[in-house]
Amino acid sequence: YKASRYSPLMSVIRHTVVTLPTPVNISTWWNFGSLLGICLAIQIFSGLVLSLHFTAHTDLSFYVVIQSFGDVYYNWWFRALHANGASFFFIGLYLHIARGMYYGSYVFKEVWAVGVVILLLVMASAFLGYVLPWGQMSFWGATVITSLFSALPMIGGDVVIWLWGGFSVDNATLTRFFGLHFLLPFGVAGLAGLHLFFLHDQGSSNPLGVSSDFNKVVFHHYYVLKDLVGACFFIGPLLALVYFNPWLLGDPENFIEGNPLVTPQHIQPEWYFLFAYAILRAVPNKLGGVVALAAAVLILFYMPFSPKASIKGLSFYPCGKILFFSLVGVFILLTWAGAKPVEEPYVAISQGLSVLYFLYFLVIGPLTRIQDKLL
């Protein structure tokens, strides 16, 4: 490590991945941070390769995507890796956030806030990328989601026209969506570096929720090897999906060219947005639905300001654990409900689940404080 004495860059790298003091008792749930870094690298690399053979034009995009499957070497592999990599990215994100909520990582306010901003940017990038193939679900998904901004008082109509680059989803929309989809992942990478900076500055939580300042080990080789094993278990299913059933998580409608004159029978986003889509549809008022949709994600910013318990995390709070795993069930059921048609009983189910979803964030803090007083 002599080079690190003379090179500031090597010194930073050594402190980040070699000599970093790390709690001795963190579990496999802490692997998802490094796995998300691997997913981001996969998405950026595969996206760069795909961008070399893409034309952002409404008359050409769909046919370029289809033609490149057979005419460009391994384009099918990169496209399947990119599409399924997005799904695995969101699996990792949701599990990473769930771990932070369960073990109280949100007490580190800067780390948590930057993480939520990363989630928002990744969601925006995924939505923009879904529009690019210009299939039926891409076109109508872009139309439905961007039209939601028209619900904003006074400025809604102007915002929609600005997003579209005209008076409908057309070539200008596709061009700017491609540009933004290309740029946003690099912004995510920068914020991920800031996320790590705050994490290393404030320290990491642990399963017991106690101070680990006096019981730490160096990151390498203890956790480097652990992360490599986790990466194998994470990337293995991703490659299996790419090779054996690459379009399992996609929508068959997207293999039909986008047609503004033919509306699909059931418009729905990708699976990782379905929970928010169900909350949107649960509110009969358009503006109320948009507010509920935004609040479904932005409420994560509230977590660091919720009433604090004596012990970080829910490991020693039985009622809190029951509520947390109930929230997990509510999230899964909202995802299921979001894929169903807008009719009864699915609307009523979505409304009930939406209330339970928001209720968790309002109740969990006071509930743990009550248990502290009882003990």
Question: Which residues are annotated binding-site positions for a ubiquinone?
Answer: 200
- 3-state SS, the chain, equals CCHHHHCHHHHHHHHHHCCCEEECCCCHHHHHHHHHHHHHHHHHHHHHHHHCCCCCCCCCHHHHHHHHHHHCCCHHHHHHHHHHHHHHHHHHHHHHHHHHHHCCHHHCHHHHHHHHHHHHHHHHHHHHHHHCCCEHHHHHHHHHHHHHHHHCCCCHHHHHHHHHCCCCCCHHHHHHHHHHHHHHHHHHHHHHHHHHHHHHHHCCCCCCCCCCCCCEEECCCHHHHHHHHHHHHHHHHHHHHHHHCCCCCCCHHHHCECCCCCCCCCCCCCHHHHHHHHHHHHCCCHHHHHHHHHHHHHHHHHHHHCCCCCCCCCCCCHHHHHHHHHHHHHHHHHHHHHCCCCCCCHHHHHHHHHHHHHHHHHHHHHHHHHHHHHC
Q: How far is CA 336 from each of CA 273, 297, 322, 331, 346, rounded to the nearest angstrom?
A: 11, 18, 21, 9, 9
Catalytic residue among 270, 312, 350, 354: 270
Catalytic residue among 68, 125, 204, 350: 204
Catalytic residue among 15, 226, 308, 340: 226
Please say if 147 is a catalytic residue.
Answer: no
Catalytic residue among 15, 53, 200, 340: 200
Please say if 200 is a catalytic residue.
Answer: yes
Token pair listed for 223: 């956790």
Query: Residues comprising the binding site for heme b?
Result: 82, 96, 181, 195
Query: Residues comprising the binding site?
Result: 82, 96, 181, 195, 200
* 292 contact partners, CB below 8 Å, separation of at least 6: 279, 280, 282, 283, 354
Catalytic residue among 105, 227, 350, 354: 227
Token pair listed for 203: 């320290």
Q: How far is CA 208 from each of CA 96, 105, 369, rounded to the nearest angstrom?
A: 17, 12, 17
Distance of alpha carbon 375 from alpha carbon 373, whole angstroms = 5
Please say if 253 is a catalytic residue.
Answer: no
3-state secondary structure of 22: strand
Radius of gyration of the chain (CA): 22
Annotated active-site positions, please? Answer: 200, 204, 226-227, 270
